[in-house]
Copies of this chain bind each other. A is one copy, B any other.
Amino acid sequence: MPGATAPVRLAEIVQALGGELVGDAALEIRRIASLEAADAHSISFLAQARLRALLDTTQAGCLIVRADLSEAAQARGAVIVTADPYLYYARLSRWWAERRRAAVKTGVHASAVIGEGVRLHPTASIGPQAVIDDGAFIGEGVIIGAHCHVGAAAVIGAHTRLAAHVVFAEACRIGERGMLQSGAVVGGDGFGFAPFEGRWEKIEQLGTVQIGDDVDIGANTCVDRGALDDTVLANGVKLDNLIQIAHNVRIGEHTAMAACVGVAGSARIGAHCLIGGAALIQGHIEIVDHVQVSAGSFVMHSLRQPGHYSGIFPIDTNANWEKNAATLRQLYTLRSRVRALEQQNKTP
């Protein structure tokens, strides 16, 4: 959401978020900005050594920096000194956004449809055209966007927010402080069919989705309900946009996945993993904690050791690729030819 909000004094920022302020505490800050786009009423941050050259050119009124850059930064304006400027920026961005969200109206929009037996906290906000089915639970400070659908007996924990157009289906549960982006579908049917005489007989999906606290789910991402048991996202899981989480998948705490990842049914992924964009994870396999998978890689088997894994066809000019791909199609033959040469050289 955009930066437009009431300006604040630097003193208010440091009072709320800590850090050592060097400079004019009364300076009025109107926006948070990148080093390149900042002006005299912007606060910016310098978190990477490679961007140090921008110290000389940025117009930011105040800079968030580490102690080692404090002196250089002071030469050009106000400074907030902190051990981790990127983390400080993260917290500043949230504090900034919270001030704006304070304006969200609590209560139920007149056009929303609320079922029977819904337990709705008085501080929750239900947007226009939202539909909350019978028996759902909507916790303290929850924000439900326009057109959201919360299914029967679903549970939305305190301070969780649903952007517009989220589907959170029947009997699924999410904990506190979650964030679901628009178009996310939690609790669609898993893809389950039994073959019979050349046809497919649908298996009804009778499980749910169980989601912990502090979980983010991206736009148009799908998390399917379990077949019999549940699909489970542990605390702190972060899913980007357009991700597929199939039925009965379990994802451990604080694992993050970039956009377009696909996880097939019953895969178990550990805690603190990093899954790169459009990576693909086979069904019924296990990935231990602290695994990193490069973008575009297909995890075909269990990964039982922590570490960094990749499987990507390197990009090249199309002409080179065609030559290499032609050889690749006969790679097995090439190995045989090398073996033959080795035999030849051995036998005098």
Q: Which residues in A have some Cβ–Cβ distance to B below 8 Å? A: 1-4, 31-34, 36-37, 84, 86-87, 89-91, 93-94, 96-97, 109, 111, 113, 127-129, 131, 133, 145-147, 149, 151, 153, 163-165, 167, 169-171, 179, 181-183, 185, 188-189, 191-194, 196, 198-208, 214, 216, 218-220, 222, 224-225, 228-229, 236, 238, 240-242, 244, 246, 254, 256, 258-260, 262, 264, 272, 277-278, 280, 282, 292-301, 307-332, 334-335, 337-338, 341-342, 344-345
Contacts of A228 in B (CB 8 A): 3, 32-34, 37
For the complex, give the distance between the alpha carbons of A185 and B33 in Å.
24
Known: A34-B228, A84-B196, A90-B194. 18 other contacts (CB 8 A): A1-B169, A1-B205, A33-B228, A37-B228, A90-B202, A111-B113, A113-B146, A163-B167, A185-B220, A188-B241, A191-B218, A198-B272, A219-B224, A309-B318, A314-B328, A314-B329, A320-B332, A334-B338
Contacts of A171 in B (CB 8 A): 1-2, 4
Q: How far is the CB of A183 from chain B (nearest CB, A)?
A: 5
Contacts of A33 in B (CB 8 A): 228-229
Q: Is the CB of B244 within 8 A of A262?
A: no
Name 5 A/B residue pairs within 8 A (Cβ), A-sorted. Answer: A1-B204, A129-B147, A191-B241, A200-B254, A293-B315
For the complex, give the distance between the alpha carbons of A160 and B328 in Å.
47
Copies of this protein chain in the complex: 3
Q: Is the CB of B298 within 8 A of A296?
A: yes
Q: Is the CB of B300 within 8 A of A314?
A: yes
Q: Is the CB of A311 within 8 A of B300?
A: no
Please tell me which one of the listed residues B109, B238, B315, B331 contacts residue A327 in the complex, with CB atoms under 8 A apart: B331
Q: Is the CB of B324 within 8 A of A229?
A: no
Q: Is the CB of B321 within 8 A of A316?
A: no
For the complex, give the distance between the alpha carbons of A333 and B34 in Å.
46
Q: Is the CB of A313 within 8 A of B298?
A: yes
Beyond A202-B90, A229-B37, whether A332 also contacts B324 by CB under 8 A is yes
- Identity of the chain B residue whose Cβ is nearest the Cβ of A145 in the assembled complex: B149
Q: How far is the CB of A96 from chain B (nearest CB, A)?
A: 7
Beyond A196-B87, A200-B256, A241-B244, whether A128 also contacts B128 by CB under 8 A is no
Q: How far is the CB of A47 from chain B (nearest CB, A)?
A: 9
Contacts of A324 in B (CB 8 A): 328-332
Top-6 shortest CB links A-B:
A311-B315, A2-B171, A188-B219, A90-B194, A93-B204, A97-B204
Contacts of A236 in B (CB 8 A): 199-200
Q: Is the CB of B206 within 8 A of A1?
A: yes
